[in-house]
Amino acid sequence: PVERTAQALAEAEAVWRPHIPLGRYGRPQDIAELTLFLASQASGWTTGQSFVADGGMLARIDMPRRPRPPLPPEPDPIEEP
């Protein structure tokens, strides 16, 4: 199970990474830097804002689509005798 999880994460990264505008996943440091800004005097004129720290994903339009599995075949109609 752990091997499959690692494989699934690697596959998901291969699908998503090209769609992240900044080209990388977020790091804890990214959130820490935003927190430091908000706690500092530099944010003193900032009010009523929502800060999105997502590498630009919210502004991105083309999201990767997971291929849908094929639909099962339609059952044969039941013929009455």
Q: What is the pLDDT of residues 29-66, one digit of tens each?
A: 999 999 999 999 999 999 999 999 988 888 876 666 66
Maximum separation of any 2 CA atoms in the chain, in Å: 85
Q: Which residues are CB-neighbours of 51 under 8 A, at least 6 positions away?
A: 34, 38
- With contact defined as beta carbons under 8 Å apart, do 16 and 64 qualify? yes
pTM: 0.57
Average pLDDT, the chain: 85
Give me the residue spans of the domains in the chain: 2-40
